[in-house]
Structure 1
Amino acid sequence: MCGRFALTATPEDVAESLGLLETEGFPPRFNIAPTQPILVVIAGDRQQPGSNLPERRALLVRWGFTPSWVKDPRDFPLLINARAETAIGKASFKAAMRHRRILIPASGFYEWHRPPKESGEPSQAYWIRPKNGGIVAFAGLMETWSSADGSEVDTGAILTTRANTRIADIHERMPVVIKPEDFARWLDCKSQEPRDVADLMAPASDDYFEAIAVSDKVNKVANTGADLQIPVSVATRPASKLKEPPADRQLSLF
């Protein structure tokens, strides 16, 4: 899963990386948590100048997906992640998979290695970022929930897939990463059906991310400083929980 991430790049870098014409200023955020606003990128209604591709625009949504048919969000679980393998068939996500796919820019994400309770070992937090730096784009889904009084809330979730060999040392799941050359295809919900983009929802290559052990300060939402990403020493690296790659690497979407 992905329960915390960070976006510390400048608005200008985000705009350039995601192909945005413009984006409003925002401060660096080192500890983005569920229910908080997150920056997402969607395909706009107008075409880019000199291109047949739609413009991309950024907006803020609440991290915690709420399907449109939910009557009271207080009675519905907080959906911060959607499993790529099953999202197309889930009542909560299937409409968004078809009509409202988004990109979620990030500088990286946090994950926790949690040893078996009987081991007596504490959990260890890791800051996981692109090895070559820069901005990563997570695959996401968006839905606008409307209340009985007519007010609307834009909400979103991050799609996750099975971890690659590197991340499996820490956790069995990881966010789906969309490569820049695939941004347009992922965001194109008019001509690209879910089955047409299923190949994009695969684990990132084993050498894409690096994992840095950090302190447990990230556990607390109130901690938001850059010191959350300062490396700490750990006695041993966790052993990989990934036994052997499955024989069939295709996604079981259908």
Structure 2
Amino acid sequence: MRKLLMVAFVILNAKAAFAQEIKDPKATEVWEPEPKIVTPGTVGIAAPSADAIVLFDGTNLEEWTSVDKPDAPAEWTVSDGVVTVKKGAGNIQTKRSFADYQLHLEWRIPENITGEGQARGNSGLFLASTGPGDEGYEIQILDSYNNRTYSNGQAGAIYKQHIPLANANKKPGKWQTYDVVWTAPRFNDDGSLKSPARVTAFINGVLVQNNAELQGATVYIGKPSYKKHGPAPIKLQDHGDPSEPISFRNIWVREL
């Protein structure tokens, strides 16, 4: 009986320890290996193709809406051909929903950025926004030029799932590009997963995700999982970063 009680005690302690671990966001941080630093070549402004849907052309946010208030317009600041995160305005997402697509987006970390780690120009590109909070599938946006953080949380990472294949970031103040191919997950009628989401992504022309298979939607704490959904909006994140907010321009998508 004493042995059985000891075994039960060990099992319960192990379960308690595991439960405690998944409540800690640091439990899903991966710091090694660090992606190799690659200096990108010159990448010019990519004009949208004839069949592209232009999501932001520098003039207005007519294609976007507030995530918190879906019937309200997006409240980020548009000026001089760029859109900049407006602190406290919340995340914005496209009015249209998409399944598979090719996306082009350009983003800029302010030259006078302060902070370190995750508190340095933090935002995110959510390839499918599946709920009212931060639910979705995130590629991280962050100043990763000379700013160490956990590898699966730096720019180019599928947040807390896939480390980028390279660190091809430019200095703050320079425009950077994301080119992404998104294959949406498919689900059976009963809600079970039929085929997982996949992502191929380039930063500044350098491959950072190569047909990466996602384990589910992005979560900050715990492990990702899937919940049945169909075509979904594309979302940009207002992270609430206390440092200077980041800007975007030249955003377009091609449905596949």
Same-fold status (TM-score > 0.5):
no
Pick the structure with more helix per residue. Answer: 1
Structure with the greater relative contact order (CA < 8 A, sep ≥ 6): 1 or 2?
Answer: 2
Q: TM-score, normalised on structure 1?
A: 0.26
Q: TM-score, normalising length from structure 2? A: 0.26
